[in-house]
Structure 1
């Protein structure tokens, strides 16, 4: 590049477009580098509680919205049809192209290089990125928003990283796999599983009616290290459908997801900044991130725009200020609390996990919503966790304090 950009963003997914657009809106000279065109369709679906979008005034970005939102935590069978837990809050699915277009329009004027960042070297004043094609790009600050698997961001090794794995199908079925017009956040009923399968790490159904006879059904593992294999998830989804005499008549789209739930926070002294999955922004308790991008992107961009106005600051100083804005001590402590809770849940068997979620969703709506969206201040978050502990039956309390008894190694 002829001139050094203020910021170079690595990546072309939601996190990259979000931070590039927010910086551009604040007059920052931004460039990007991504291996694929930034307007290429995104393969995965993104869900969000509608109230979370309402906070940032972007409810128009929803393609689907459900008011009938439920979960099932019962044993299964006919009786369990009457044991759904209503959440009393709308859930939505993003219109992916509208979300992508929203950020691209706000980033109009940003130069995107279609290439792969292979080497990143921070100097005193600028950081140099060398691409796979041999092109050299420079910027006062580089932000890695290329995802959790990035090789460029340093983070401590805290043992195996747990992944949330999911296999899903968008399609048509011989009869509705869930009730018409309904969204199912978690269906932990297990009447379709063998006794041996019930002793293995549990999975749940995440499903929704997309209208016009099309449904999305997805078998999901909350978190496990290593993640549950796709063939296991696919088999369990098929067993679940078979138990209810539902056949898939048309597959419109298959979805495969695997992302880290307890990725350690990056080394926040490094001269390279991160955003999105690369910055460990996936919620350790829920696996969601897009809401966090929409809330935290503007604040980070504003903090960076202010320090970039000082031409004397180089990459290290700019990155330090960026890390402080992205991960203040309040958010670090909340993240640690969530990771502690996840470490307990990962050891729960299916019965204990069902009990936990039934208890969790009995909390007042603003409390479980704030917990799942990471919008509760630290003192309130701690209060909610204490209330959950107080409401829990003895076996669940024991598991939350001591961890669950070791389960046998799954056959997969």
Structure 2
């Protein structure tokens, strides 16, 4: 039997980030991973460079583009902001090195059961190994084993189909990153009218290698990989571009609107397991890097009370992870995404043109979730003020879930306890 102050389940970005942060607090940290610890992570991770500048981690980028553009309804939008792609091997090694320096003790095994007594949480693996810890943090992704959520209806997913390879004609300009290309002239009128909008996400990786990916922002049910693959090849063919060599194919799907976890449970979550994906932009990694130190500090403080039970320690952690300001913003972001999912292609393009005409501090803070609630509201009010009348009318319609989400936000503004509203069901 192994005993720890904190046991982290999962060794992906979320697990290694929080394990390293906990170890930096001087805690005895154990890690439990179902896959080999140094198995290379399968996904690619992008981030705006200034987010890493603030963390002093720009050396972890494998690629970076100063020329970052999008295409909505009014032509090319130059974002005036550098975007980067992590070198995922370097990122993984960096985080595992921090874990090693902090003395994190990793074990391979699949957790199957958890129990709690007054002193410890006890995790049992499929092989029968037993781990005891004063607090357990599950960081195993969007479909965790132990973390419970409210059942709040259908979840919207972002899906993408992409190709890394060589092309007969460069799909983007040299040293360029295309954030969102919503141009749809390659589609028929019927396709534009009956199928959901999708966009191209593309970049020059150097040495005549490019990454092109057709992406659905968020839909429930999710847009199929088959439709995205067809859309991507239609887009390329309309520009006279052929794929000449495929290095890698990426099929990506992740939930954008997971309901919040039960904030009273004795297991803590982090990353996708904690519903930390930005509900409006899909970004996660930057938020995990920024928020892990605060969560680790809260857990370390709670552990100083030798009599604290796992549930009390977890409660402290949940209140740090989902404090009142973050809960309010969660519902505002969810409200915004519901709007976008209801917009047709014309309104969606109008919205994005308007959004990226906001001051960079507002749109960048919105995408990264670094604005306070008052700052977020100010950005939303400003967007409404400068929007064309057709978009304003669309923003004023509350045909479905939007009204409930907005009511959750209003209720949290007035609630004495930040946890009081989270148990209510969205119906």
- After TM superposition, the score normalised by the length of structure 1 is 0.94
Q: What corresponds to 2:420 in structure 1?
A: none
Whether the 8 Å contact between 1:202 and 1:350 is mirrored in structure 2 is yes
Deviations 1:72-99 (A, max 9, x none): 013xxxxx8xx21000010000010111
What is residue 91 of structure 1 aligned with on the other side?
83
Hey, what does 1:254 align to over in structure 2? 249
SS in 2 for 1:130: strand
Q: Which residue of the partner structure matches residue 299 of structure 1?
A: 294
Q: Deviations over 1:16-65 (max 9, x none)?
A: 00000111111111111111112111111100000111111111111101
Deviation at 1:403, TM superposition (A): 4.8
Q: How many Å apart are 1:216 and its aligned residue? A: 0.6
SS at match of 2:137: strand
Q: How far does the alpha carbon of each residue in 1:340-399 deviate from its partner, in whole angstroms, 9 at most, with x for none?
A: 100111111111111110010011111100110111111011000011111111221122
Structure 1 consecutive aligned stretches of length 4 or more whose deviation exceeds 4 Å: none
Q: Secondary structure at the match of 1:121?
A: strand
Partners of 1:70 and 1:186 within 8 A in 2: yes
Report the Cα offset of residue 251 of structure 1.
0.9
Which residue of 253, 263, 268 maps to 2:263?
A: 268
The structure 1 residue matched to 2:365, chosen from 367, 370, 374, is 370
Map residues 26-45 of structure 1 onto 2, 5 A cutoff. Answer: 26-45=25-44
Which digits, 9 at most, give the CA deviation of each residue in 1:233-258, with x for residues without a partner?
11100100100111111111111111
Question: 1:146 is matched with which residue: 140, 149, 167?
Answer: 140
Residue 208 of structure 2 corresponds to 213
With 333-342 and 189-198 compared, the bigger mean Cα shift is at 189-198
Answer yes or no: is the 8 Å Cα contact 1:122–1:272 preserved in 2: no
Partner of 2:187: 193
RMSD over aligned Cα atoms:
1.2
| Structure 1 counterpart of 2:412 | none
| 1:404 CA displacement | 7.4
Q: Do 1:16 and 1:145's aligned partners in 2 also have CA atoms closer than 8 Å?
A: yes
Q: Distance in 2 between matches of 1:211 and 1:316?
A: 51
Do structure 1's residue 395 and structure 2's residue 387 form an aligned pair? no
Matches within 5 A, 1:59-208: 59-74=58-73, 83-108=75-100, 109-199=103-193, 200-208=195-203
Give unpaired runs (5+ residues) of structure 2.
401-427
Q: In the alignment, which residue of structure 1 is the partner of 2:424?
A: none
Supply the distance in 2 between the matched residues of 1:352 and 1:14 (Cα, whole angstroms).
36
C-alpha displacement at 1:222, in angstroms? 0.5
In the aligned structure 2, how far is the partner of 1:251 from the partner of 1:325? 45
SS in 2 for 1:312: coil
Q: State whether residues 347 and 404 of structure 1, in contact with CA within 8 Å, keep that contact through their aligned partners in structure 2.
A: no
Aligned equivalents of 2:127 and 2:348: distance in 1?
49
Residue correspondences, number: 397
Q: Secondary structure at the match of 1:250?
A: strand
CA distance in 1, matches of 2:342, 2:134: 44
Contact 1:145 1:278 in 2 (8 A): yes
Equivalent residue, structure 2, for 1:58: 57
CA distance in 1, matches of 2:198, 2:116: 43
1:16 aligns with 2:15: yes
SS at match of 1:139: strand
Q: Is the 8 A contact 1:344 1:404 kept in 2?
A: no
Contact 1:348 1:404 (8 Å CA) reproduced:
no
Query: For residues 59 and 280 of structure 1, what CA distance do their matches in structure 2 show?
Result: 26
Moved more, 84-93 or 391-400: 391-400
SS at match of 2:342: coil
Aligned to 1:234: 229
The superposition leaves residues 273-299 of structure 1 with CA deviations (integer Å, 9 ceiling, x where unpaired) of: 000000010001110100001100111
CA contact (8 A) 1:49 1:90 kept: yes
Equivalent position SS for 1:210: strand
Unaligned runs of 5+ in 1: 75-79, 406-412
Pairing 1:345–2:333 present: no
- 1:212-238 CA distance string (max 9 Å, x none): 101111110000011111111111001
Matches of 1:404 and 1:216, distance apart in 2: 38
The aligned counterpart of 1:408 is none
CA distance in structure 1 between the partners assigned to 2:399 and 2:180 by the alignment = 21
Correspondence for 1:290: 285
Following superposition, the deviation at residue 309 of structure 1 comes to: 2.1
